[in-house]
């Protein structure tokens, strides 16, 4: 009698498994829907309020808004969305440690790197699609609201790169947060670490004195990454838009490398 040989589960199977986990967890779907609704809704309300009071707005503020329309229609939605993305990135992996499901996953697929790479690839692809859809939706919706007073088009210098870059930033932030979740393995602790770094530490570095303080502030992960959705930068800025995104990517790769080592070496 010939023994039945079952094929070894590979990366393709793990990709399908991770995609099934993501799309069948209601909290993920509703979190993304809520994120998009709040980000677009709040941006629309702010833009509508600004346009409604346009004639009573200080001329200096009018000039700034005309020169920086992307701050209104792209930057604001991204700043809101990044909070949800950071939480989701952490929970993609930390939730399995909290519930103990990671043990079952590793029993089904003992090759730990295959498991981790599948999580990274699936979540990165999801965040890239969601980020780009949200970014373009915010741009076209915002443009329609402000069109009477602030014309802006994808063909304007730096605008197309800013819209695409906003989606890239959100995808990279998802991987950055996932790495924190894999390293810390505790949902609350990892979320606190990511949001504390993004919302508090990165901003406080701007108070550091001298040129060394300016360099630290510029090279903080999200400070550098957010340059990608700015059409123009102040003269003499330390990093260009793509250099800033490369710095953010470097931080993310470094953290993912640490996460990979720990995921492979520690007990589940």
Write the DSSP symbol of residue 231: S
Number of structural domains, the chain?
A: 1
Q: Residue 2 falls within a domain, yes or no?
A: no
Q: Residue 122 falls within a domain, yes or no?
A: yes
Q: Which two tokens stand for residue 157?
A: 């210098």
- What number is the average pLDDT over the span 243-248? 97
Higher pLDDT, 98 or 162: 162
Would you state the pLDDT for residue 169? Answer: 97
Q: Residue 1 falls within a domain, yes or no?
A: no
| Res 40 pLDDT > 90 | yes
Nearest to 82 by CA among 181, 183, 203, 169: 169
Would you state the pLDDT for residue 6? Answer: 39
Specify burial of residue 198 (Cβ count, 10 A radius: 0-12, 13-18, 19+): buried
| Res 2 pLDDT > 60 | no
Q: Residue 113 falls within a domain, yes or no?
A: yes
Let me know the angle formed at the C-alpha of 191 by 225 and 94, rounded to the nearest 5 degrees. 110
Let me know the angle formed at the C-alpha of 265 by 195 and 179, rounded to the nearest 5 degrees. 20
Write the DSSP symbol of residue 199: I
- What number is the average pLDDT over the span 221-250? 94
Average pLDDT of every residue of the chain:
90
Alpha-carbon distance 254 to 248, whole Å? 10
Q: Residue 137 falls within a domain, yes or no?
A: yes
Would you state the pLDDT for residue 246? Answer: 97
Q: Residue 123 falls within a domain, yes or no?
A: yes
Specify burial of residue 19 (Cβ count, 10 A radius: 0-12, 13-18, 19+): middle
Would you state the pLDDT for residue 224? Answer: 96
Give the helix ranges, DSSP H, for the chain: 11-24, 26-52, 59-67, 69-70, 76-99, 101-108, 112-146, 159-184, 187-196, 202-204, 210-219, 221-225, 241-265
Q: Residue 29 falls within a domain, yes or no?
A: yes
Alpha-carbon distance 20 to 52, whole Å? 45
Would you state the pLDDT for residue 8? Answer: 53
Q: Which domain holds residue 64?
A: 11-265
| Res 60 pLDDT > 60 | yes
Would you state the pLDDT for residue 9? Answer: 59
| Res 47 pLDDT > 60 | yes
Decide: pTM greater than 0.75.
yes
Would you state the pLDDT for residue 99? Answer: 83
* Residue range 174-197, pLDDT digits in tens: 999 999 999 999 999 999 999 999
- What number is the average pLDDT over the span 120-127? 95
pLDDT confidence of 91, banded at 50, 70, 90?
A: very high
Q: Which two tokens stand for residue 150?
A: 């602030």
Q: Residue 46 falls within a domain, yes or no?
A: yes
Specify burial of residue 249 (Cβ count, 10 A radius: 0-12, 13-18, 19+): middle
Would you state the pLDDT for residue 68? Answer: 87
pLDDT confidence of 268, banded at 50, 70, 90?
A: low
Would you state the pLDDT for residue 1? Answer: 42
| Res 218 pLDDT > 70 | yes
């Amino acid at each position: 009698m010939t023994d039945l040989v079952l094929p070894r589960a590979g990366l393709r199977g793990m990709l399908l498994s991770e995609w099934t986990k993501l799309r069948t967890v209601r909290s993920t779907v509703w979190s993304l829907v809520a994120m998009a609704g709040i980000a677009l809704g709040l941006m629309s309300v702010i833009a509508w309020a600004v346009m409604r009071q346009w004639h009573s707005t200080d001329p200096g503020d009018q000039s700034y808004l005309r020169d920086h329309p992307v701050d209104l229609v792209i930057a604001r939605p991204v700043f809101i969305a990044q909070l949800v993305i950071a939480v989701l990135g952490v929970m993609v992996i930390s939730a399995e440690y909290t519930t103990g499901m990671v043990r079952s996953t590793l029993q089904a697929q003992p090759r730990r790197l295959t498991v981790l790479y599948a999580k990274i690839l699936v979540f990165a692809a999801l965040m890239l699609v969601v980020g780009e859809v949200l970014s373009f939706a915010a741009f076209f919706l915002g443009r329609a609201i402000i069109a009477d007073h602030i014309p802006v088009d994808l063909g304007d210098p730096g605008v197309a790169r800013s819209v695409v870059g906003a989606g890239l930033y959100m995808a990279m932030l998802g991987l950055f947060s996932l790495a924190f979740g894999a390293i810390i393995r505790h949902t609350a602790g990892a979320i606190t670490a990511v949001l504390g770094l993004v919302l508090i530490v990165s901003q406080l570095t701007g108070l550091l004195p001298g040129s060394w303080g300016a360099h630290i502030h510029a090279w903080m992960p999200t400070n550098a990454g957010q340059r990608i959705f700015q059409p123009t930068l102040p003269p003499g800025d330390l990093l260009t838009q793509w250099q800033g995104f490369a710095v953010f990517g470097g931080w993310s790769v470094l953290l993912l490398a640490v996460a990979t080592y720990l995921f492979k070496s520690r007990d589940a």
